[in-house]
Amino acid sequence: MIKQRASGILLHVTSLPSKYGIGDLGPEAYKFAVFLADAGQRYWQVLPLGPTRAKNGYSPYDCLSAFAGNTLLISPELLYEQGLLTKKDVQDSPPSAASGVDYRTAISHKTKLLNMAYERFRSKPESSDFEKFCADNRSWLDDFAMFFALHHHFHPKLWCDWPTELRDKKRRAITPLKSQLKDGIKRQRALQYLFFKQWHSLKDYCNRLDIRIIGDIPIYVAYDSADVWANPEIFKLTKTKKPKFVGGVPPDHFSRTGQLWGNPVYDWQILKKRGYSWWINRAKHNLSLFDMVRIDHFRGLVAFWQVPGRARTAKNGRWVKVPEDFFDKLFEHCPPSSFIAEDLGFITPDVNEAIARLRLASTKVLQFAFEGDSAGNTHCPHNHGRNCVVYTGTHDNNTARGWFRKEATSQQKKRLFEYLGRKVPSALIHQAFIQLAMSSVAKIAIIPMQDVLGLAEQARMNRPATAVGNWSWRLYPGQITASTTKKLARMAETYGRA
C-alpha cells in the first residue's frame, strides 16, 4: 500500500546528456537528481540496469544477466575522481554525430576507457571493499563473470552450442578454463564492483534529497544469459538445453497471432520445491538497488501464456498457473509496499484478485483512458484508486503529443475533450495529460521526461514488436530549463504532491 502522495519522472539513465555517446552515472545524473528536487518531484523511475547487447537493439529488457549492471553506464568522470583514469583520458572523447544514444561510439570508446581503468585497478592492492563486494554477491557474480568470459571466448555461438560439458556447466570442464580466462573473469568482477559502487553513490545522493528510485524487474530473462546457463533446472528446457516452451501473449485485438517473445518460461514446480529461492534472491537484489520496483508483465506471475519452443506465432499456447503460495513466500522476505504491479494488457479476474489480495499498487495509463465507455475504463482518472501509479504514458507508449497526432482516433480525441471540458491544441496536449495525472487520486503520478518537455513522436523510447530504432532517445544539455522546473514544482504543490 502506497502511503504518501507524490510524483516523479520516468527517465532511463541512458537518456541523460553525456559526451560519451550514452548517458551514465556521472555528473549529469546528479544534476538530474537536483532538478527533481527543485521541481518538487519525489520519484525517479528508470528501466532495467542490466548489460544489454546489439542483438536485440540494446533493449534493457533483454540482458545478459538479471543481476549484473550495464558497464556502459559507468561514468569516466567518476573513474577519474577515483584515480583510475587520467584527465587526458576523460578529455579525449570522439565526437558523435548522433543526437540520441550512439551505441557504436559509446561501446568503442568506453571499452577503451574501462580497459585502462581496469589495468590501473588491478595494479593496486585489492581493497577490503572489493573483496566484500565479491563475497556478498558470489551467488550471481561468479557465474556471471565466468559466463561473460565464455560468451566472449566462443562468440558468436549461443551457450547451448558450446562444447557439451561447458554447456552443462560441468566442474571438470569449467575448472581448467578458469585459469585460461582468469583475467577476463577478474575484469568482469572489477567492472561490476565499479558499476555498483557508482550506482549506490547516486542512489544515496537521491535519497538524501528525499528522492526515491523506482526500478524495473522484467518478468522473464533472456535465453542467452548467465541466469539460464547457471540455473537451467528452473526453466523448461530440452535435454540439449534449448527452450521447450517460450513466453508471450495470446492473440487479441492488437495482434491476430499474439506476441511471441522467445524467453524461456520458468518451471514453477522446481522453483516451488526450492522455496522460490532464485526469485526471492532476485527481488532482494533489486530492492537493494531501488526503493520501489515495478514488476513488468505482472500477470505472468499469476498465470502465463506458454507456447511450444518451435512455434512461429503465439496462437497455439495455453495458460499455466503459477503456484498460489509464491507471493506469500516472496513477501516473507520483501515488503509488498515496495512493488508496483504492471497490470497492462490481457488482464483476467484472477490477476485483479491477486493484486487486491496482496494490496499491491496497480498501474494506470492515460493514453488508454479514452478507449470505449469511460464508466468501465479503469484508466480514466475518475476510476483510479488511491493505491496505484498513474502514467501519462510508459516507455512502450508514444509521447503524449505523438499519440494525439499519430494514434488517437477522432472518437478518442472527442472523449478526451469532453473529459477536459475544452478543446486543446495538439501542441499543448502534454500539459493537459500532466494535469490529469497530477490531479488524479492515485498516490503516485509518473511523467515521462519527453512529456514534461512536450516532445513529439520522434522522442519515443520504444516501439514494441520492432527490433531497431529503439532505446536511443536522449536529453541534450540545457534542454531542461528553469521555466520547466518552476512549472513542475508549482503543479506538484497545487495537487499536493510536493
Give residue-wise pLDDT tens across range 171-198.
999 999 999 999 999 999 999 999 999 9
Using one digit for the tens of pLDDT, what is the confidence trace for 50-95?
Answer: 999 998 899 999 999 999 999 999 999 999 999 999 999 998 877 7
Per-position DSSP letters for 148-169, written without gaps between them = HHHHHHTTTS-GGGS-HHHHTT
The predicted structure's pLDDT at residue 341: 98
Question: CA–CA separation, 170 vs 199, rounded Å?
Answer: 34
CA dihedral 57, 58, 59, 65 (to 10 degrees): 130
pLDDT of 254: 66
Report CA Rg, the chain: 23
Query: Sheet holding 259-264: strands in order across?
Result: 259-264, 245-249, 303-308, 318-321
Q: Are strands 6-10 and 339-341 parallel, antiparallel or unpaired?
A: unpaired
Catalytic residues: 296, 342, 396
Q: If DSSP codes are grouped into helix, strand and coil, which group holds residue 318?
A: strand
Report residue 315: phi and psi, to 5°: -65, -45
Q: Which domains does the chain have, with CATH numbers?
A: 6-63+211-494 (3.20.20.80)
Q: Which pLDDT score, from 0 to 100, does residue 160 have?
A: 97
pLDDT at 93: 79
Closest of 484, 471, 486 to residue 47, by C-alpha: 471
Tell me how far apart the alpha carbons of residues 354 and 361 are, in angstroms, rounded to a whole number.
11
Sequential DSSP letters for 391-439: ES--TTSPPHHHIIIII--HHHHHHHHHHHTS---GGGHHHHHHHHHHH
- Whole-number pLDDT of residue 253: 67
* Cell numbers that stand for 103 in this block: 551505441
> What string of pLDDT tens digits covers the 498 residues of the chain?
898 999 999 999 999 999 999 999 999 999 999 999 999 999 999 999 999 999 889 999 999 999 999 999 999 999 999 999 999 999 887 777 678 999 999 999 999 999 999 999 999 988 999 999 999 999 999 999 999 999 999 999 999 999 999 999 999 999 999 999 999 999 999 999 999 999 999 999 999 999 999 999 999 999 999 999 999 999 999 999 999 999 999 987 667 899 899 999 999 999 999 999 999 999 999 999 999 999 999 999 999 999 999 999 999 999 999 999 999 999 999 999 999 999 998 899 999 999 999 999 999 999 999 998 888 899 999 999 999 999 999 999 999 999 999 999 999 999 999 999 999 999 999 999 999 999 999 999 999 999 999 999 999 999 987 888 899 999 999 999 999 999 999 999 999 999
- Residue 141 gets the label, from left (phi > 0), alpha (psi -120 to 50) or beta, of alpha
Q: What is the reported pLDDT for 94?
A: 78
Model's pTM, two decimal places? 0.97
Question: Phi, psi (5° rounding) for residue 311?
Answer: -65, 150
- Helices vs strands, H then E, count in the chain: 19, 12
Whole-number Å distance between alpha carbons of 457 and 405: 8
For residues 204 and 31, is the Cβ–Cβ distance under 8 A? no
Query: What is the Cα–Cα distance from 16 to 413, expressed in whole angstroms?
Result: 32
